[in-house]
Amino acid sequence: MDDHKHALVETIAARLKQWREDHAALFGEIPDRVFCQPAADFEKTYGLTGISQQYNLPEGLSSRDLQSYAMLSWRKEDLTAAEQHERLAGVWRLLASCNPGLDKIAHDPRNTDALYHMIMGVASAYNIDDIRRFTSNSVQAHMAREMEKTPEFIKLAEVFNRHAAPERLNLKWVASPETLRSIQDKIISKYRRDF
C-alpha cells in the first residue's frame, strides 16, 4: 500500500477510535450495531450467490469500519460541509484506486450525498449495478416503493413466492433491474422449476 493510502487508512482508524472513546458512555458501539450487508444476508438466507459484491479494501480497513466512518463523516455537526465532502471524497478516491470497476459509477464529484451513498454501497457489499441505480436518482427515499412497481420486481416476487418462500419478498435494499433479473434466474435455477 502506498504512503498516501496508508495515511488515509490510519486517519480513518484514529477518527473512529476517538469517536468511540468520546461517545462510549452515551451511545456504546452504535456504528457497529447498525452494520449490515442486506444483499449478502439475502444470499446466505436463500443459498444464492452472485448478488452481492465484495470489494478490495486497503489492509487494516474493514467494511464495518468503512460504514462507520462514512456515517460519522456525513452530516456530522462539528464538520463544515466542505470538511464532510473532503473526508468522503478522499475515501471514495481510496476505494476507486483499489477497485477499478467503481469508476463505472457516474456521479457528480461535488455531490457529498452521492459520495456518502456510494461509500455505503461498497461497505454494504452492494453490486455496482445497485450502487449506480441508487445514486443515479436524487430521491432515494422513494426508490424502494418505485422499485416494487417495476415489472422486474413484480415478476421476481411471483417467482420468489412460488419457489423460495411463502412470504412477501422484501429485499431490504433498492436493487437494480439487472439484480432483480439475476435473482429471478437464480431462484428458478435453484429450484429447477419453470415459471
pLDDT (tens digit per residue) in 82-100: 888 888 888 898 888 889 8
Which residue in 76, 69, 75 sits closest to 90, CA to CA?
69
Lowest mean pLDDT among 105-114, 136-145, 163-172: 136-145
Mean pLDDT, range 141-155, rounded to an integer: 73
Residue 51: the pLDDT is: 94
Mean pLDDT, range 70-87, rounded to an integer: 81
- Count of C-beta atoms within a 10 Å radius of residue 87: 25
Q: Is the pLDDT of residue 44 over 80?
A: yes
Q: pTM score, two decimals? A: 0.78
- Count of C-beta atoms within a 10 Å radius of residue 16: 19
Q: Is the pLDDT of residue 17 over 60?
A: yes
Residue 195: the pLDDT is: 45
Residue ranges of the domains in the chain? 3-33+55-124, 38-51+139-195
Distance CA 140, CA 181 (A): 21
Residue 146: the pLDDT is: 73
Residue 47: the pLDDT is: 84
Mean pLDDT, range 165-170, rounded to an integer: 66
Q: Is the pLDDT of residue 155 over 90?
A: no
Lowest mean pLDDT among 100-104, 151-155, 178-182: 151-155
Average pLDDT, the chain: 79
* Banded model confidence at residue 30, pLDDT cuts 50, 70, 90: very low
* Banded model confidence at residue 166, pLDDT cuts 50, 70, 90: low
Q: Is the pLDDT of residue 28 over 50?
A: no
Mean pLDDT, range 52-77, rounded to an integer: 82
**Half-sphere exposure in the Cβ direction for 37 (13 Å, CA):** 23
Cβ atoms of 179 and 132 within 8 Å: the answer is no
